[in-house]
Amino acid sequence: MASTEEETNPYELLDVKTEATEQEIRTAYRQRSLKIHPDKNRDNPDAARIFHELNQAYELLLDPLRRLALDAKSRVKQARAERFKSYDKKRKNLVEELEERERAFKKARADKQKEEVETWRETERIKEQGKLMREKKEKELQQMMKAKQDEKEVAKEREDEEAPPAMDPLDTTIRLKYPLKAYPNLTTPAAISDFLSRFGATDEASIVLSLSLKNKAPSKADKPPKTGSALVPFKQIGHAFAAVCASGRKELDMDRMKVTWVNGKEPAILGWLRKMGKLGAQKQPVSPSPMDPGIKAELPQNQTRDSSSAPFSSFPSSFPETFQTPEAPPNPAAAGIDYESLTLMRMRQAERERLEREILEQEAGE
Question: What's the confidence (pLDDT) of residue 293?
Answer: 35
Does position 194 have pLDDT exceeding 70, yes or no? yes
Does position 165 have pLDDT exceeding 80, yes or no? no
| One domain for residues 189 and 40 | no
Helix (H) or strand (E) holding 87: none
Select from 38, 61, 86 the last residue of a domain: 86
Number of independent structural domains in the chain: 2
> Phi first, then psi: what are they for 263, rounded to 5°?
-90, 0
Domain assignment present for residue 350? The answer is: yes
Average pLDDT (200-221) is: 71
Give the whole-angstrom CA distance, residue 301 versus residue 185: 26
Question: What's the confidence (pLDDT) of residue 303?
Answer: 37
Question: What's the confidence (pLDDT) of residue 295?
Answer: 30
- The DSSP result for 138-152, as a single string, is HHHHHHHHHHHHHHH
Question: What's the confidence (pLDDT) of residue 88?
Answer: 67
pLDDT digits (tens, 9 = 90+) for 2-18: 444 445 789 888 888 88
Does position 229 have pLDDT exceeding 80, yes or no? yes
Average pLDDT (165-177) is: 84
Domain assignment present for residue 130? The answer is: no
| One domain for residues 64 and 184 | no
| Identity of the residue numbered 237 | I
Burial letters 260-291, b for 16+ CB under 10 A, else e:
bbbeeebbebbebbbeeeebeebebbebbebe
Give the whole-angstrom CA distance, residue 214 versus residue 180: 13
Does position 292 have pLDDT exceeding 80, yes or no? no
Domain assignment present for residue 143? The answer is: no
pLDDT digits (tens, 9 = 90+) for 77-86: 888 877 777 7
Q: 167-176, 231-240, 278-287: which has the minimum mean pLDDT?
A: 278-287
* Banded pLDDT at 65 (limits 50, 70, 90): very high
pTM of the predicted protein model: 0.41
Average pLDDT (188-207) is: 88
Higher pLDDT, 56 or 2: 56
Does position 356 have pLDDT exceeding 80, yes or no? no
Domain assignment present for residue 246? The answer is: yes
Select from 70, 86, 102 the last residue of a domain: 86
| One domain for residues 210 and 329 | yes
Domain assignment present for residue 248? The answer is: yes
| One domain for residues 359 and 218 | yes
Select from 86, 113, 138 the last residue of a domain: 86
Question: Which structural domain, as residue segments, surrounds residue 57?
Answer: 2-86
Who's near 41: CB < 8 A, 6+ residues apart?
A: 47
> Burial, 147: exposed, middle or buried (Cβ in 10 Å; 0-12, 13-18, 19+)?
exposed
| One domain for residues 35 and 184 | no
| One domain for residues 202 and 303 | yes
End-to-end CA distance of the chain: 114
| One domain for residues 211 and 314 | yes
Domain assignment present for residue 342? The answer is: yes
Does position 31 have pLDDT exceeding 80, yes or no? yes
Question: In this structure, are residues 248 and 285 in contact, taking their beta carbons and an 8 Å threshold?
Answer: yes
Domain assignment present for residue 108? The answer is: no
Question: What's the confidence (pLDDT) of residue 222?
Answer: 58
Give the whole-angstrom CA distance, residue 68 versus residue 70: 5
| One domain for residues 62 and 182 | no
| One domain for residues 210 and 333 | yes
Does position 321 have pLDDT exceeding 70, yes or no? no
Question: In this structure, are residues 12 and 57 in contact, taking their beta carbons and an 8 Å threshold?
Answer: no
* Banded pLDDT at 341 (limits 50, 70, 90): low
Domain assignment present for residue 159? The answer is: no
Average pLDDT (178-183) is: 87
Does position 227 have pLDDT exceeding 70, yes or no? yes
pLDDT digits (tens, 9 = 90+) for 88-136: 677 778 888 899 999 999 999 999 999 999 999 999 999 999 999 999 9
**What CATH number does residue 75 fall under?**
1.10.287.110
